[in-house]
Amino acid sequence: MGKYNFIFINGKFLEQKLTGVQRFAYETVKNIDTLIDDGAAFSELKDKVFLCVPSDVDESKLDFLKNIKIRKAKKGTGIFWEQTYFANDIRKNKALGLHLCNTVPFLQKKGIVCLHDITYTIHPEFVTTGKHQLMRLWHIVQDKVCAKKTLAILTVSENSRNEICDCFKIPQSRVDVVYNGWQHFSTEIAEGTTLSKWPELVEGKFFYSMSSLAKNKNFNWIIETAKRYPEYTFAVAGKMDLKKYGDTLSAGSELKNLHYLGYVSDDEAKLLMKNCRAFIFPSVFEGFGIPPLEALAMGTKVICAKASCLPEIFGDSVYYIDPYNYDVDFETLLSGKVSPASEVLEKYSWEKTASKTLEVVKRFF
């Protein structure tokens, strides 16, 4: 220790809903908090770690920490806070920045970043609207800065590490794989959470999926499959942002066996996973893919695209489909044998993610 006085964690993710990369950041920070406690593996860092958050983060979102100290900005929100006030805070306090959600402040880029994937850089075909194109341009710049200018890169699968290194021509030693966890789904479903909210769904009789309209999520597979198999019921949860991704919903709006549930809470997602016939994840590109892991944790059968990092993550514990083939014999598919979910679940935990992250931090702190 000596080059840096503190470790400042980028807390911009607390302005957003806990999905995907935000979930990764929240659970990683929560477990870092445990690992720096007195007598724990990284207790020497206890007084050095701060979570820095924008001015609009509600105090109720900050009560999950015991050891990490909070630095809440007096002003500034979102990207503007990250790129200005937070960057200046890092500089003034001679802190090591830890950025867990794909972006860094350009003025203080010599930190550690988790680059979950580089979708925007290597898959321009996934961009479908003007709003989405602006986001792509922002992330293309961020991807390059993260890959070329930071001290170290974290990512969430070997597949992502290979893509980052191949695209930016950097050595594998620059990138550490930290994976994700599932333990946020290990708690009991809250009392009063029932399927009665969705009377069209019958226990054990519907297929469940979590998706957005982003093209890599391959929502069209659900629509086309529902068209071909009216005898099956399909339920899809998630935010459907038409301005960002374009209108794909209209193609399935007349299907009586396809139901859009909107955003669901963790407890509702657990309930839906536990009571569906199988969880479907037809995505063609992922950095990791947390939802199938959550479903396995709930004891649910998982139907997964044989694409991207998914075979790496889930091995032989899920039922694979061709994400471009809509003709599926569900009865035959689900009667096949797969390996126990425990083979996957034992490999991943948020504690392991946090521990590996702190190991990387200690190389530079």
Tell me the backbone φ, ψ of residue 152, rounded to 5 degrees: -155, 155
Mark residue 9 as left, alpha or beta (left: phi above 0; alpha: psi -120 to 50; beta: remaining). Answer: beta
Closest CA to 281 of 332, 228, 238, 245: 238
Is 228 a residue whose pLDDT tops 60? yes
Which residues lie closer than 8 Å to 71 by C-beta, 6 or more apart? 8, 50, 51, 52, 53, 89
> What's the whole-number mean pLDDT along residues 139-148?
97
More confident residue, 27 or 3: 27
Distance CA 128, CA 220 (A): 14
Identify each DSSP E strand in the chain by its residue range: 6-10, 49-53, 69-72, 95-99, 112-114, 152-155, 175-177, 206-210, 233-237, 258-262, 278-281, 302-305, 319-321
Structure tokens at 20: 């995907």
Lowest-confidence region among 10-14, 202-206, 236-240, 345-349: 236-240
Work out the percent of the chain whose per-residue pLDDT is above 70: 96
Lowest-confidence region among 99-113, 212-226, 231-245, 324-338: 231-245
Angle between helices 266-275 and 290-297 (to 10 degrees): 60
Structural domains of the chain, with CATH = 6-181+349-364 (3.40.50.2000), 188-345 (3.40.50.2000)
Distance CA 291, CA 349 (A): 14
Which secondary-structure segment (H or E) carries 364? helix 350-364
Tell me the chain's radius of gyration from C-alpha atoms.
21
DSSP-assigned letters across all residues of 227-283? HH-TTSEEEEES---HHHH---GGGGTT-TTEEEEES--HHHHHHHHHHSSEEEE--
> What's the whole-number mean pLDDT along residues 317-326?
98
- pLDDT for the residue numbered 248: 57
Q: What is the pLDDT of residues 246-297, one digit of tens each?
A: 455 555 678 999 999 988 999 999 999 999 999 999 999 999 999 999 999 9
Structure tokens at 165: 């290194």
DSSP-assigned letters across all residues of 291-324? HHHHHHHTT--EEEES-TTHHHHHTTSSEEE-TT
- pLDDT for the residue numbered 247: 52
- pLDDT for the residue numbered 150: 98
> What's the whole-number mean pLDDT along residues 93-116?
97
> What's the whole-number mean pLDDT along residues 104-121?
97
DSSP3 helix / strand / coil % (the chain, rounded to 5): 45, 15, 40
More confident residue, 131 or 207: 207
Is 126 a residue whose pLDDT tops 80? yes
Work out the percent of the chain whose per-residue pLDDT is above 90: 90
> What's the whole-number mean pLDDT along residues 78-98?
98
> What's the whole-number mean pLDDT along residues 113-117?
98
Distance CA 111, CA 129 (A): 32
CA distances for 15 relative to 57, 58, 145, 212, 268, angstroms: 6, 8, 23, 19, 22
Mean pLDDT score of the chain, rounded to an integer?
Answer: 94
CA distances for 108 relative to 46, 237, 344, 357, angstroms: 23, 37, 37, 19
Angle between helices 158-168 and 130-149 (to 10 degrees): 80
Is 242 a residue whose pLDDT tops 50? no
> What's the whole-number mean pLDDT along residues 222-239?
95
